[in-house]
Structure 1
Amino acid sequence: MSESLPLFVDAETLQARLGAPDIQVVAVDSASDYANAHIPGALQITMADFTASDAPVAGLLPDDDALRDVFSDTGLRNDAHIVAYDRAGDGQAARLLYTLDAMGHSAISLLDGGLAAWHQAGLPLENGAPQAGASRFTVERQPERIADREWIKTHLDDPDTGFLDVRSAAEYAGQDVRSARGGHIPGAVSLDWNLLKGANGRLRPRSELLELVASHDVQSDREIVNYCQSHVRSSYSYLVLKYLGFDKVRGYPGAWSDWGNADDTPVSANTDDANGQ
């Protein structure tokens, strides 16, 4: 495989590598929107293809066989560096990349700014229906990249574990309630995922990100669990922490839709937790 792409890749860098045999681009997009405009040669997949629900919980990881089949049907390859993009603020593409990483495929990149950034760079787009893909993609679940409710309950008082809540401040405080209960996981730090992006919707410079996470007491020597409502926004923060060099990072599939709808989980609305106090 030739030189790999960075975890967050800009449109011009990706365009220079389009067509390389070791690069696959995949749009997390509806079939109709993909047909209207997509990056040349991109594959297509929807969020519903690689997430599962068990109402009222959303954003769960499907089982290994289901993910193997959908990634194979999409045409993804284990020997490729997979670049994902969307047209919805990068969260859906980030969730695909988190899922691939959790399934053992770490050769991944996010197109920073998504389809909008590609368009703004004046780069060419294609139209037409998705082409049927076919491959034999294999998955190997990586437990150290996944947190579930029981794991979190056993680590609530672990000084080596931190919880990063990337929902809005109102969700964190229990004022915007989207599950049976509002609030946050006790001790979780509040850092709205939008603060990770600049005014143009793209990733902030590395130096600014390092300053931001340090000011919120997000420490690289701790194991950091990222969560939001259904692990879309927090898939983005998961990638950001990996980009910053954090090597102990977990995502929480199901996230607050799981924790806030359970009847045996502690919930806090104490805003003193917000910056790690």
Structure 2
Amino acid sequence: MMTSPLVQTDWLQDHLTDTDLRIIEIRGKVLPPTEPPPHYLSDRAGYEAAHIPGAVYVDWQVDIVEPGSPSNDIASPARFSALMQALGVSGRSRVVIADDAGGMFATRLRWALRYYGHEAVQILDGGWTKWIAEGRTTSADIPQYPRGGFQARANPRLIATAEDILQSLADGGMQLIDTRSPGEFSGVASRAKHVGHIPTAINLPRSVLVADDLTLKPADELRLVMEGSNIDLNAEDCVLYCNSGVSATYGMLAMEVLGAKNLRIYDGSWKDWGSDPATPKAR
């Protein structure tokens, strides 16, 4: 039974040959909004050159995104199911995800799997970066697994929409957390047409949750961060957002580690909200 959303490199090294284990690598990076585009980059070539033995690859910009979505929304149930089946994922699979971006791509995929009904999924703490820093085994072999039986069944308790947030701004009761940079939160920069943040939102930059070795900070440090930001870990409804629902899932992970419940992701995030001239914005 899994008791944590995280696994450590020692554990993974010891379980590489488990038949029910599927390791997924999801590599790439995000450039600051002040840099010239493109800002979102994948790294399939890096995976093909060397990866954790037995790991398969997912392109975070293409494979788990609904084609044509301006805010990079999560892929449809049919599209997501087809991807997981092709990777050999079934209902009984234990999925471990690793990235090289400080965890945020991995947590995005973890959220997607949980949203579509698969709870047996964990993050490799420190990811590919920590794995190679420790000199662990790598491979260039591309594994092939029998087609899996994964079937997506959406869980609406893990997702929020702009309409949900607009209603909460009128009625109250929702804690909003923005995991973008302070500059984006304050309106100095933006990846959408408009600048600023959603009214009442609390800024919790993902960078304050990550340790120097790209692992999640220890629980006692995370708790101090939450307290310093006046974040209520016992909120009855907490919605996290970023630019397109990626770094927000890392904030969700940190809050889960501290025991928070009732957490949702605004999938469209600022690319949705900040592109709509009718939505209220604060600076």
Aligned to 1:217: 230
- Residue 26 of structure 1 is aligned with which of 15, 21, 24? 24
**How many Å apart are 1:133 and its aligned residue?**
5.3
Residue aligned with 2:176, SS: strand
- Return the alpha-carbon distance in structure 1 between the equivalents of residues 227 and 146 of structure 2: 43
Q: List per-residue Cα deviations over 1:242-267 (Å, max 9, x = no partner).
A: 22211100011121000000122111
Structure 2 residue aligned with 1:237, among 248, 251, 257? 251
Q: SS of the counterpart of 1:89?
A: coil
2:280 match: 266
> For 1:181 and 1:35, how far apart are their aligned partners in 2?
38
The CA deviation at 1:158 is 4.2
Amino acid at match of 1:19: T
The amino acid that maps onto 1:153 is: L
Q: Shift of residue 160 of structure 1? A: 2.6
Which amino acid is 1:247 matched to? K
Opposite residue 20 of structure 1, the aligned amino acid is D
Q: Does 1:169 align with 2:167?
A: no
1:249 partnered with 2:263: yes
**TM-score normalised according to structure 2 size:** 0.89
**Residues 1:132 and 1:80: Cα distance change in structure 2 (over 3 Å):** closer
- Give the direction of change, closer, same or farther, for the CA distance of 1:36–1:232 in structure 2 (3 Å limit): same
Conserved 8 A contact 2:115-2:156: yes
Q: Which residue does the alignment assign to 1:274?
A: none
Of the candidates 148, 153, 157, which is equivalent to residue 161 of structure 2? 148
Which of residues 97, 101, 105 is equivalent to 2:118?
105
Rounded Cα–Cα distance in structure 1 between residues aligned with 2:144 and 2:22: 14
Tell me the CA shift for residue 130 of structure 1.
5.0
Equivalent residue runs for 1:80-159 within 5 Å: 80-129=93-142, 131=144, 134-159=147-172
Is 1:65 aligned to 2:78, yes or no? Answer: yes
SS in 2 for 1:83: strand
Could you tell me which residue of structure 2 aligns to residue 77 of structure 1? 90
Q: 1:10 to 1:215 in 2, by over 3 A?
A: same
Aligned to 2:6: 8
1:197 and 2:197 matched: no
Contact 1:183 1:267 in 2 (8 A): yes
**Root mean square deviation, CA, Å:** 1.6
Secondary structure of 2:248 counterpart: helix
Distance in 2 (CA, whole Å) between partners of 1:221 and 1:31 is: 40
For residues 252 and 167 of structure 1, the distance between their equivalents in structure 2, rounded to whole angstroms, comes to 13
Deviation at 1:236, TM superposition (A): 1.0
Cα separation, 2, equivalents of 1:134 and 1:119? 29
Greater shift, 177-186 or 85-94, is seen at 85-94
Distance change >3 Å, CA 130–CA 264, structure 1 → 2: farther
The yes-or-no answer on 1:46 pairing with 2:67 is no
1:160-197 per-position Cα deviation (integer Å, ceiling 9, x unaligned): 31111010000000111221100000000001101001
Q: Structure 1: state its 5+ residue gaps.
A: 270-277
> Contact 2:249 / 2:265 at 8 angstroms: preserved in 1?
yes
TM-score normalised to the size of structure 1? 0.91
Aligned residues: 266
- Displacement of 1:6 in angstroms is 2.6
